[in-house]
Structures are given as structure tokens and as C-alpha cells.
Amino acid sequence: MKTTSAPADTTAAGAWEELVTAALLGTDRRTPAGCPPGPKAPAALLDTAAVQTVRRRAGLRPAAAAPRPEPAPPDPRPPLPAAAARRLATLLSDRPGTTGGRRGTAPDLMELLPQWLQAANARGYAAPPHLLPALLDAARGRTDLRPAALEFAGPRALWLARLNPDWRFALRAVPGGGASLPDPDDADRIRRLWQEGLFAERVALLAALRARRPAAARELLGTTWATERAEDRLMFLDTLRTGLGPDDEPFLEQALADRSRTVRATAAELLSALPGSALAARMAARAAACVALDRTRETPTLVVEAPHECDAGMERDGVVPKAPAGRGERSWWFGQLVEAAPLATWSARLGGLAPREIVALPVADDWQGELHAAWCRAAVRQRDAVWARALLGEPAAPEAGGPGAVSLAERARLLGTLDAAERADWVAGFIAAHGLSEAFQLLGVCAVPWTASLGRAVVDALNIARDAGSYPWSFSGVMGLAERCLDPAQARRLDALLAVPDESEDAAPGAGGYWAEAFQRLVTTLRLRAAMLEELGPPPAG
């Protein structure tokens, strides 16, 4: 077969395509320009391809320079002390993977990072610029870090997030992508942003305005309420939780007629948190009609007659008619009525009895669990500490709780209505009476650092568990909380627990050594936390 030379292609791309075509067809059928036909054609083809490869890699045509990004915004906050900056670098770079069992005595540094960020933010420091990428990477992997990490990173985090897709979460986490919100006095800009802004910008605007001028935020929402999508109405309505007050009642009453069931339910929940609202009065009348005090019995007893139907009025006021699987309809409706009724209803209904006296009353026909559980939810919703105390009972009570505390989750929520000191004292008493087996969820609602009494109770209970010969990883959750929440000053009390104890005959094999190691890690972590705080310096006065 006669070979022919292909016509020369003046473009680099054309020359390369010609070489590829010749290589696929074979040089006996096609010889590219510049390669002599014959036996030496294959080698010439490879040589030419090598030259073209170098040209393709090194001979790119100059392109117009892209516009330079705007400089990062300044961060006016004071810089970190040098020692604190070095500590942050260590926390961000050293991420030991520790999963249960015997993990050694080294502290889990990544678990200390949230506490470090909280302390740094409280002192108003700016993040070191060279650590911002590592900080954003850490926040990308842990959503619980994001609020504190982005606050610490400041405006430069948003600047970086616009340049790196991996950090786009920062733009989503800050409503409106960090766009500045108009001044509350700038009515024109507020109205324009509300009418033309993105959804996240509108939510941010409404939330910011609600925090400063609740009535203005409510009026702004009313201007477009009828035309908003149902899912958007739900998000906007949720912002009214901030500064919720009697003036919001007319708007929320209108929302009870919304075409969206979730919007109606949220409006009803907000209205039930206003004890003086018309909805609260309607719910009080319905709930009171279901409960009576029978004084004819040997012991005065509460008698429950649950609703026999969920009428249109109940449904309009937020009662969900369809019961979940496994729940009876009547008990489901009854619980919702009691939960939404003002707690003051019951003293008036039951002859002026105090909450503790009401909770102590027996309830006929196995309705006690349902009634007390609903009272628990009402106490949490209405932030009623008096009822919360009555339902919690004494921390040393049998079965680890008062008559209304039907679960650990309920007790934890009830504790949230008390101030920090009272909450810590109750949990300390609970641990002293019942040990640590059920304490983890309750400890999670206590303020950090733990009070001295709560810290002593936890350490004493851990010591008792050690003496009993249990393995420490049975208490790994509490031990992890202790590392993060004990006051660092407690480290001195733990020195006596660092030695390996003598093991009793019924102790788990090797448990003493594991306990000594766990306490060593706890002490090391507490001392590290003390050093972290010292490096950051004292918090601002006031």
C-alpha cells in the first residue's frame, strides 16, 4: 500500500491530532508530516510525539490575567497571645483516634477544641490568619464546632469560603452569606431586602429585627404572609419565639387558620406558651373538664375522663387528631390538652392545692403516667420552675426521680427550667443516691465547669465504681464528660486515685490498672485545660 504524507497542520492541536491518528492507523498506512516514510517511520513518530508533548506542556499561550480577589477584610480584634496560638495549632493538628477500651493517658485534644474556642471567643480574640484553613477544615468535619469556629474565625472565614468550595458551609451557616443587614432604622433597605432578598437573607433579617424590635418584625412578616410558601411561613413563624409576648397573639390566632398543618401546630404551640392567651384559656377549659378530684374515696384521688372525640375546635387549636402507632386516641388527645393548658389551671381546679400536693395525689385507672408526662411537657414549655421541682421530686427518691419524671429525657428537660446552681445540686444529690448508671443524660444539662458539689459527687461515684471492681469503660461516657466539665481545680483531689489499687477476688481482671490509667488521663486533661485558660489570659471584667 502506497503511503502518503498528510498535509501540514499549522495549529498545535491539529498536529497532535494528526500524530494520534497516525499512531492508531499505523505508519505503514499513514505518515504524519515531518516523519519520513519507511522503516524508520515508527521511531520518527515517537520522537515527534515526544517533542509535541513537551510543547503541549510548556508552550501554553499566555492568557489574560484573572482579576485579583479583593483583599481580605480586616479583623479589628486583638491577636491571640503567642502561647495560645501555639496551643490552637496543636489542638487542630493532633487528632488522635480513640475508640473505647484502653486508650492511654493522652488527652483527647479534639474534644478540648470546643472549650478552647468558647474561652477565646469570650475574650474577644482574633484567629491567627495562618491557622484559618485548619480551623475551617476542622469545622467542616464537625458541625458542632461550626458556630464557635466561625465566630472565632471572623470575617476572613467568609472571605476564604468564597474562594474554596470545601468551605462553602461557612456561607450557609451565616444567614445571607455574611451580607451586612440593614440598620433597624433604615426602613427602605429593610423593606427592599425583605421583598427582594434570598430566603436565608430574609430569615436573618427577620431574626435580627425580632431581637431588637419584636413588633416591627411581626409587622414586616405580616406584609407578605399570605403569599409565602408553607415551608417558608413555618421558618418565619419560628422566629417569633424570640421576644414572644401578648402583642403577638392576634397574629398567631390568624395563623391557627393557616392551610398548613405544621404552621397551625407551631402557632398553637406559641400561643400555649402565653398563659393569658385565648387559646390557653380554651385549652384550660378542655383539660379541666377531663380531670376531677374525687374526695369520696378514702384517699382523695384524681379521676380522668379523656375526650371521646377530637372536634374541629380542638384541631384548629393544634390538637393532632391521628394518634401515633401504639397510642390510644383518647389518651393522645388528653395529653395534648393538658400539655397546652396553663399550669395555673390545676391549683384553681383542684381546690387551691400547691403543685407538690397535686403531683402527690393518686390517679385512678392507670392515668397517672399520661397525666404526669403531660404536666412535664407543660412545665418545660411554660418554663415553670415550681412545677418542675414538684415533678422532679427529691433527687434521692426511689426509682431515681419524682412521680412525674417518667424518663431520663423528661428529667433532663425539667432540670433545664431551673437555674444552673439548683440544677447542679439536684444532679449531685441524684448521683450520691443512685450512682452514675443513669446520670450521663442529666450531667449533659449542667453548666460547665461543674460546681464543686457536683464535681465531688462525680469523682466520689467514680471512686466507688473503681472499688467495686468494674471496668472503667462502663463509665466511659461520664469519664469523657468529666474530662471536659470538671473544674480544673479538682485535679488535686484525684492524685490519690492514680495508683493501681489492690484487686479484690470478685473484681474484673486487670480493672485496677485500667482505672489508674483512666484517672491519669483525667488528671492530665484537667491540667491541660488549666494551662489553656492561663495561656488565654483572664476573661474580660463584667
The pLDDT tens digits for 411-420 are 999 999 999 9
Question: What local confidence, expressed as pLDDT, does residue 13 receive?
Answer: 67
Highest averaged pLDDT of the listed ranges 6-15, 353-362, 469-478: 353-362
- Above 60 in pLDDT, residue 100? no
Question: What local confidence, expressed as pLDDT, does residue 45 receive?
Answer: 84
Among positive and negative, which fits the CA dihedral 236, 239, 241, 244?
negative
Average pLDDT over residues 436-462: 92
- Above 90 in pLDDT, residue 380? yes
Q: Identify whether the C-beta of residue 45 lies closer than 8 Å to the C-beta of residue 32.
A: yes
Give per-residue burial for 247-261: e unless 16+ CB within 10 Å, then b: ebbebbbebbebebe
Greater confidence (403 vs 245) lies with 245
- Above 60 in pLDDT, residue 178? no
What residues have CB less than 8 Å from 283, skipping those under 6 apart? 272, 317, 337, 340, 341, 342
Taking only the tens place, the pLDDT of each residue in 247-256 is 999 999 999 9
Q: State residue 137 phi and psi, 5-degree precision.
A: -65, -40
Report residue 3's pLDDT band, with 50, 70 and 90 as the boundaries: very low
Average pLDDT over residues 367-389: 95
Question: What local confidence, expressed as pLDDT, does residue 502 receive?
Answer: 59
- Taking the C-alpha atoms of residue 218 and residue 221, their distance in angstroms, rounded to an integer, is 5
Question: What local confidence, expressed as pLDDT, does residue 383 receive?
Answer: 93
> 3-class DSSP state for residue 208?
helix
Give per-residue burial for 114-152: e unless 16+ CB within 10 Å, then b: bbbbebbeebebbbbeebbeebbebbbeeeebbbbbbeb
- pLDDT > 90 in the chain, percent: 59
> 3-class DSSP state for residue 170?
helix
- Taking the C-alpha atoms of residue 457 and residue 396, their distance in angstroms, rounded to an integer, is 13
Taking only the tens place, the pLDDT of each residue in 184-231 is 788 899 999 999 888 878 988 898 899 899 999 999 999 999 999 999
What does pLDDT average to over the chain? Answer: 86
Q: Identify whether the C-beta of residue 472 lies closer than 8 Å to the C-beta of residue 507.
A: no
Give per-residue burial for 26-43: e unless 16+ CB within 10 Å, then b: ebeebbbebbeeeeebbe
**The whole model's pTM is what?**
0.76
As a three-state string, the secondary structure of 181-196 is CCCCCCHHHHHHHHHH
Report residue 4's pLDDT band, with 50, 70 and 90 as the boundaries: very low
Question: What local confidence, expressed as pLDDT, does residue 51 receive?
Answer: 85
Other CB atoms within 10 A of residue 526 CB: 24
- Above 70 in pLDDT, residue 54? yes
Question: What local confidence, expressed as pLDDT, does residue 12 receive?
Answer: 62
Report residue 314's pLDDT band, with 50, 70 and 90 as the boundaries: very high
